[in-house]
Amino acid sequence: MHNLQNLYRRIEYLRNNGVKMKDIADWIDMPPSVLSSLYTTVLPGYFTNQKNHPPEEALEQALALVNNVSKKRLLSTIDSMIARLNELEPDIQSNPRENTFAWQFQEEMLRSIQKVDNIKGTYMSYSLSSSSDNLKMEPFIIFPSENNEYIRIGRLSAYGDSQWGFGIIGDPQNMYCFFNENEPPHFTPVTVYLQLPMFRRPKQLRGLYLGLDYNRNPVARRIVLVKESDSTGSEEFAQMKSGLIQPKDFTPEQQIYYDYACQVGDFIKMCTVPSLQMNENDLMKEKKMLSL
């Protein structure tokens, strides 16, 4: 089944040189979701399984990971797909690979979809409010995008706004969630870094929340995500409650989350120093202001 490797290499070459997955799919008359499953899940799984299993069995196991790729159609059309893809050449001049980090970012979004099954679902997050000493409670949802091209992240802010972004799992123990906390055209990026435990379907994720406070100054805080459900339905997610909880209203579990995420030393922030002198005095003044 060397043609499977040739198919993967050709798709990889086209993507590495700026051709979008949708354009590749249209070129070979294949639904983008099917091509995405083939490239991100089936073929990598086949190559991994082949190390310990015969080719036929390795392919069967890889195909079992998805529900939209037909073995019969794949094997019967692979030669024609490769021939067709060999006719597609990227426009290197109009798609220079000068920014390799941006390209790698896109590639990691695609690869990450293979790793999301273990953590997908709805969560309730707990962190320190930027405006008070209350506990901030915000639902999160983690699931594959409709076309299986990236991990989709949703958050219901403490004030009822729906915010959407994407996630990247760089390695088995780390995940980065990115979204915009404002409506377009305003762009205020937020990053949530999560540690992923090394066991199946963890009930709790913890990490760091990096964003801006109400004065537009950067702040980093602890955050805890507690699993609510394996469901990834957007309707169920939209009905979850968010808001700020005062200490007098804490449940025993919320008291534990507050003690973990909202104490002195559990956040780092900056402030805007008035009348900047642009020297070391500003640093001392900022630290003094933050201690008040």
- The CATH number of residue 130's host domain is 2.40.128.120
With 0.75 as the threshold, say if the pTM is over it.
Answer: no
> How many contiguous H segments (helices) and E segments (strands) does the chain have?
10, 10
- Identify the pLDDT of residue 99: 67
Asked if residue 247 has pLDDT above 90, the reply is yes
Confidence (pLDDT) at 1: 60
**Are residue 71 and residue 123 in the same domain, yes or no?**
no
pLDDT of residue 124: 97
For residue 109, being part of any structural domain is answered with no
- Whether the pLDDT of residue 94 is over 60: the answer is no
Give the whole-number percent of the chain exceeding pLDDT 70.
97
Domain end position, chosen among 47, 69, 98: 98
> Residue 148 and residue 47: Cα distance in Å, rounded?
20
* Burial of residue 25 (number of CB atoms within 10 Å: 0-12, 13-18, 19+): buried
Task: Assess whether 233 and 277 both reside in one domain.
Answer: yes
List the one residue out of 22, 1, 2 whose CA is nearest residue 11. Answer: 22
Residue 274 has pLDDT above 80, yes or no: yes
Domain assignment of residue 29, yes or no:
yes
Residue 126 has pLDDT above 60, yes or no: yes
* Domain assignment present for 79: yes
Mean pLDDT over residues 212-236, rounded?
90
- Residue 87 and residue 143 share a domain: no
Same domain? 176 vs 263: yes
pLDDT of residue 121: 95
Does a structural domain hold residue 201? yes
């294949």: which residue's tokens?
A: 30
Confidence of residue 97 (pLDDT cuts 50, 70, 90): low
DSSP 8-state secondary structure symbol assigned to residue 127: E
Q: How confident is the model at residue 157 (pLDDT cuts 50, 70, 90)?
A: very high
Q: What is the span of the domain harbouring residue 17?
A: 2-98
Q: Above 70 in pLDDT, residue 229?
A: yes
Same domain, 215 and 156: yes
Mapping DSSP onto H, E and C, the string for 177-222 reads EEEECCCCCCCCEEEEEEECCCCCCCCEEEEEEEEECCCCCEEEEE
Query: Region 23-41: what's the mean pLDDT?
Result: 90
Tell me the per-residue pLDDT of 70-81, one tens digit each, with 9 for 90 and over: 888 999 999 999
Tell whether 28 and 132 lie within a shared domain.
no
- Statement to judge: residues 190 and 247 lie in one domain: yes
Give the chain's domain count: 2
- Domain co-membership, 30 together with 89: yes
Q: How confident is the model at residue 19 (pLDDT cuts 50, 70, 90)?
A: confident
Tokens 């406070």 belong to: 213
pLDDT at res. 50? 86
What single DSSP character describes residue 149?
S
Domain final position from 98, 128, 155: 98
pLDDT at 66: 86
Domain boundary among 40, 67, 98: 98
Do 174 and 40 share a structural domain?
no
Name the band, by pLDDT with cuts 50, 70 and 90, for residue 95. Answer: low
Given a cut of 70, is residue 105 above it in pLDDT? yes
Residues 6+ apart with CB under 8 A from 34: 25, 68, 69
Residues 174-188: what's their mean pLDDT?
A: 88
Per-residue confidence at 96, pLDDT binned at 50, 70, 90? low
Q: Which span out of 139-148, 206-215, 220-229 was modeled with the highest average pLDDT?
A: 220-229
Residue predicted with more confidence, 52 or 156: 156
Tell me the two tokens of residue 264: 């002195």
Q: Say yes or no: 134 and 279 in one domain.
A: yes
Please state, rounded to an integer, the average pLDDT across all residues of the chain: 89
How far apart are alpha carbons 288 and 292 in whole angstroms? 7
**What is the pLDDT confidence band of residue 104, given thresholds at 50, 70 and 90?**
confident
CA–CA gap between residue 165 and residue 157 (Å, rounded): 13
Looking at mean pLDDT, say which of 17-21, 52-56, 238-242 comes out highest: 238-242
Question: Does residue 108 sit within a domain?
Answer: no
Do 147 and 265 belong to one domain?
A: yes
Tell me: do 167 and 286 sit in the same domain.
yes
Establish if 143 belongs to a structural domain: yes
